[in-house]
């Protein structure tokens, strides 16, 4: 055995060796090859060889010794695995000879993981599966293993696209036992009510297929002005935030409308019946009454808790046709008819007011996907915004703006929708462009509400092309538990309350309003961890819908290779241009870059230039579908004519 002196010498030797090393911590980042990188906490980046990358997963936290690699660049010598966040994931079941693997559906993950024999029961090549890491490769000579949690189905399973994307993005499934029991009990109970009624001529206007109706609208003329009332469904009358159902709503964060298989924040027996503002049935509601001047300004607002009855369930198309034809096909009585006409006038005044004093987002066509019995696309219908859409949109915006003002005036801890405008790392570049093209705008403070609003209003009039470029540089909106500006709308504050059946922040904001109205203590506010969870779920829902639609459209276009379409450039990068088909909204990519005839990318103005030919955002082109990559779910197109 070693004596104390020998042990002390050995310990000192280890310290001396370590002191000569460049020890750092970082996060593993994958690549398109077998190698990787360590993004170090001190800002450096170290190369990870393919052999070492075989012992790691992207996202792993590691401790490394930074050594000099090829060309003098930093290279990682692995010392310790600190943390591996990768646990559950989805992928494709692959069989190669005697080997059975899963091909993970993860970004920058370029390896298959071994599935041991005891996990293969009932699985076939091509199945979509959900797995969990059972053996990390760091200490196992690069050998990773997984446990199969669920077989989701295969390409022929009806609705597999939605099942797969919901699993990939961890969208919550069935309610837990406590939440389901609470929902079942509520569904059987009498619908609660408030002591007073509001007898205004409320109607709902939504898609004809909508059953979870959040809001109803009524307008009464007040001389040259208007009194706008928005009645909003009120699940908070009996669902407490700390109840099982309230916590389930928090975990879901929103209703996700996957094509053909929506996932509701509140169960359908509640969201489509008990809380929905069903025609001819009394429902408790939170009502926002607003005074609107003839110029479109919100001059006053107040909130009321009362029972309402929607007099009619109307669709956007029905109202749009009625406005054009001005007849009695809808069978409206005089009060209902006058309310809708006043709402139409008010909406136009409100939009004109916002154009002058705030910002109005551009109108974009929407596309309705019609599925067949197998859950595949049968048809895609283009739907342009009608005057009926404008009427509802302006009413909801006015309601949410009033709510934000109410929260700000009373310093309440509501959830505000915050939009910070241009990405911070793009501000300097944009300022350079403005100095060259619009010197009068160069001194604007673009990260302020006034500066951003002035910029967008001026570009809307003088330089629509640069306006499109600016819109590609925007940050995503976020939720804040305090007053925060919404630069995208040009507003000092914006907080949504109009969809409490579908969005958790709206339901939560109802609780805040009601506590203030009743002069009761504000309920426990959303903490930082819960806010992060809500944000993550909102993002996951958007990604799931987008990726499912992309999968479906790739299938839909598989037999349409060679077809030609009018399209609009929606993306420009160094490789080519992304285009959105005008008739269907389907997206394809035209690869332009090649060594023989290179294009120059103007990254500041998002243009590709070669000689006299320019491709830029918003440009209309005719394209031809060249090929479909079903594995990567991409559509390759070529430009036919400009």
pLDDT digits (tens, 9 = 90+) for 121-172: 999 999 999 999 999 999 888 899 999 999 999 999 999 999 999 999 999 9
Exposed/middle/buried for residue 354 (C-beta within 10 Å: 0-12, 13-18, 19+): buried
Residue 8 has pLDDT above 90, yes or no: no
When pLDDT is averaged across residues 578-584 and rounded to a whole number, the result is 96
Please write the tens of the pLDDT for every residue from 327-349.
677 889 999 999 999 999 999 99
User: Which distant-in-sequence residues (6+ apart) come within 8 Å of 43 by Cβ?
Assistant: none
- Write down the mean pLDDT value for the chain: 93
Which single residue is written with the structure tokens 């504050």?
493
When pLDDT is averaged across residues 104-119 and rounded to a whole number, the result is 93
The architecture CATH gives domain 558-641:
Beta Barrel (2.40)
- Paired sense of beta strands 203-206 and 312-315, if any: parallel
When pLDDT is averaged across residues 532-558 and rounded to a whole number, the result is 96
φ, ψ for residue 498, nearest 5 deg:
-85, -5
Confidence at residue 7, expressed as pLDDT on a 0 to 100 scale? 58
Confidence at residue 12, expressed as pLDDT on a 0 to 100 scale? 57
**Is the CB of residue 486 less than 8 Å from the CB of residue 495?**
no
Instruction: Report H helices in 110-159.
Output: none
Torsion of CA 469, 470, 472, 477, to 10 degrees: -170
**Is the CB of residue 498 less than 8 Å from the CB of residue 400?**
yes
Q: In 281-294, which positions are buried (b, 16+ CB within 10 angstroms) versus exposed (e)?
A: eebbbbbbbbebee
The helix or strand, by DSSP H or E, that contains position 11, with its residue range, turns out to be helix 4-19
> Is the pLDDT higher at 363 or at 484?
484
Confidence at residue 110, expressed as pLDDT on a 0 to 100 scale? 86
The architecture CATH gives domain 23-83:
Beta Barrel (2.40)
Which single residue is written with the structure tokens 């030797």?
13
Same fold, 23-83 and 88-154: yes
Residue 41 has pLDDT above 60, yes or no: yes
pTM of the model: 0.91
Which CATH number is correct for 88-154, 3.30.479.30, 3.30.465.10, 2.40.50.640, 3.40.50.620? Answer: 2.40.50.640
Residue 17 has pLDDT above 70, yes or no: no
Confidence at residue 140, expressed as pLDDT on a 0 to 100 scale? 87
pLDDT tier for residue 5 given thresholds of 50, 70 and 90? low
CB count in 10 Å sphere of residue 504: 27
| Percentage of the chain lying above the pLDDT 70 cut | 96
Confidence at residue 15, expressed as pLDDT on a 0 to 100 scale? 57
When pLDDT is averaged across residues 94-122 and rounded to a whole number, the result is 93
pLDDT tier for residue 524 given thresholds of 50, 70 and 90? confident
Please write the tens of the pLDDT for every residue from 253-264.
999 999 999 999
Written as one string, the DSSP assignment of 510-560 is HHHHHHHHTTPPPPPPP-HHHHHHHHHHHHHHHHHHHHHHHHHHHHHHTT-
When pLDDT is averaged across residues 623-630 and rounded to a whole number, the result is 95
When pLDDT is averaged across residues 610-638 and rounded to a whole number, the result is 94
Domain ranges, ordered by start, for the chain:
23-83, 88-154, 188-419+479-548, 424-474, 558-641
Give the 3-state secondary structure of residue 614: strand
Residue 309 has pLDDT above 70, yes or no: yes
Please write the tens of the pLDDT for every residue from 395-419.
999 999 999 999 999 999 999 999 9
Residue 62 has pLDDT above 90, yes or no: yes
**Is the CB of residue 620 less than 8 Å from the CB of residue 613?**
no
Residue 304 has pLDDT above 80, yes or no: yes
Q: Which two tokens stand for residue 197?
A: 């009624």
For 17-31, 303-317, 366-380, 396-410, which range has the lowest pLDDT when averaged over its residues? 17-31
Q: In terms of Cα–Cα distance, which of 315, 342, 105 is closest to 206?
A: 315
Confidence at residue 6, expressed as pLDDT on a 0 to 100 scale? 60
Confidence at residue 108, expressed as pLDDT on a 0 to 100 scale? 85
Give the 3-state secondary structure of residue 148: strand
Confidence at residue 71, expressed as pLDDT on a 0 to 100 scale? 85
Please write the tens of the pLDDT for every residue from 210-237.
999 999 999 999 999 999 999 999 999 9
When pLDDT is averaged across residues 616-626 and rounded to a whole number, the result is 96
When pLDDT is averaged across residues 283-292 and rounded to a whole number, the result is 98
How far apart are alpha carbons 478 and 491 in whole angstroms?
A: 15
Confidence at residue 18, expressed as pLDDT on a 0 to 100 scale? 52
The helix or strand, by DSSP H or E, that contains position 103, with its residue range, turns out to be strand 99-104
| Percentage of the chain lying above the pLDDT 90 cut | 86
Q: What's 117's DSSP letter?
A: G
pLDDT tier for residue 639 given thresholds of 50, 70 and 90? very high
How far apart are alpha carbons 342 and 146 in whole angstroms?
A: 62
**Is the CB of residue 551 less than 8 Å from the CB of residue 539?**
no
User: Which distant-in-sequence residues (6+ apart) come within 8 Å of 380 by Cβ?
Assistant: 367, 368, 369, 370, 553, 556, 583, 584, 585, 586
Residue 596 has pLDDT above 90, yes or no: no
């Amino acid at each position: 055995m070693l004596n104390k002196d020998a042990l002390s010498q050995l310990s000192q030797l280890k310290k001396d060796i370590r002191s000569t090393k460049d020890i750092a911590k970082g996060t593993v980042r994958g690549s398109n090859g077998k190698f990787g990188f360590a993004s170090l906490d001190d800002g450096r980046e170290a190369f990870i060889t393919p052999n070492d990358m075989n012992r790691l997963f992207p996202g792993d936290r590691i401790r490394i010794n930074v050594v000099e690699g090829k060309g003098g660049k930093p290279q990682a010598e692995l010392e310790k695995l600190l943390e591996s966040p990768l646990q559950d994931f989805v992928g494709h079941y692959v069989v190669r000879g005697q080997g059975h693997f899963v091909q993970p559906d993860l970004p920058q993950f370029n390896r298959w993981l071994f599935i041991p024999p005891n996990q293969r029961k009932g699985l076939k090549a091509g199945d979509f599966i959900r797995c969990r890491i059972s053996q990390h490769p760091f200490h196992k000579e690069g050998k990773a293993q997984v446990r199969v949690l669920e077989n989701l189905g295969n390409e022929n399973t009806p609705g597999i696209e939605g099942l797969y994307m919901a699993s990939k993005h961890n969208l919550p499934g069935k309610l837990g036992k406590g939440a389901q029991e609470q929902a079942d009990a509520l569904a059987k109970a009498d619908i609660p009510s408030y002591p007073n009624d509001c007898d205004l001529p409320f109607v709902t206007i939504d898609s004809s297929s909508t059953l979870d109706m959040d809001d109803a609208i009524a307008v009464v003329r007040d001389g040259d002005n208007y009194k706008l009332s928005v009645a909003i469904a009120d699940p908070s009358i009996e669902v407490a935030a700390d109840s099982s159902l309230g916590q389930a709503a928090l975990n879901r964060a929103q209703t996700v409308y996957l094509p053909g298989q929506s996932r509701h924040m509140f169960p359908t027996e509640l969201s489509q019946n008990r809380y929905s503002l069903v025609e001819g049935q009394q429902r408790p509601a939170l009502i926002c009454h607003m005074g609107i001047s003839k110029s479109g300004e919100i001059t006053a607002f107040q909130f009321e808790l009362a029972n309402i009855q929607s007099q009619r369930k109307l669709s956007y198309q029905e109202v749009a046709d009625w406005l054009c034809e001005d007849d009695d096909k809808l069978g409206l009585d005089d009060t209902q008819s006058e309310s809708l006409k006043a709402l139409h006038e008010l909406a136009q005044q409100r939009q004109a007011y916002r154009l002058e004093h705030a910002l109005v987002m551009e109108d974009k066509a929407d596309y309705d996907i019609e599925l067949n019995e197998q859950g595949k696309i049968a048809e895609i219908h283009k739907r342009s915004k009608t005057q009926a859409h404008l009427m509802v949109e302006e009413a909801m915006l006015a309601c949410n703006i009033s709510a934000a003002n109410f929260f700000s005036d009373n310093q309440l801890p509501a959830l505000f929708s915050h939009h910070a405008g241009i990405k911070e790392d793009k501000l300097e570049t944009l300022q350079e462009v403005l100095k060259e093209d619009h010197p009068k705008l160069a001194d604007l403070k673009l990260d302020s509400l006034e500066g951003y609003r002035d910029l967008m209003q001026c570009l809307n009039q003088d330089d629509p092309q640069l306006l499109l470029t600016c819109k590609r540089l925007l940050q995503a909106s976020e939720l804040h538990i305090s007053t925060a500006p919404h630069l995208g709308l040009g507003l000092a504050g914006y907080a949504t309350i109009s969809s409490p059946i579908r969005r958790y922040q709206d339901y939560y904001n109802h609780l805040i309003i009601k506590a203030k109205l009743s002069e009761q203590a504000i309920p426990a506010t959303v903490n930082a961890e819960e806010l992060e969870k809500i944000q993550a779920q909102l993002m996951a829902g958007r990604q799931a819908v987008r990726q499912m639609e992309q999968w479906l459209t790739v299938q839909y276009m598989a037999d349409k290779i060679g077809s030609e379409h009018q399209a609009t450039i929606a993306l420009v990068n160094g490789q080519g241009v992304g285009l959105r088909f005008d008739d269907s909204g389907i997206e394809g990519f035209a690869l332009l870059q090649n060594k023989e005839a290179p294009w120059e990318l103007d990254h500041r103005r998002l243009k590709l230039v070669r000689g006299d030919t320019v491709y830029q955002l918003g440009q209309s082109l005719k394209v031809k579908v060249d090929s479909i990559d079903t594995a990567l779910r991409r559509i390759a197109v070529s430009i036919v004519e400009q």
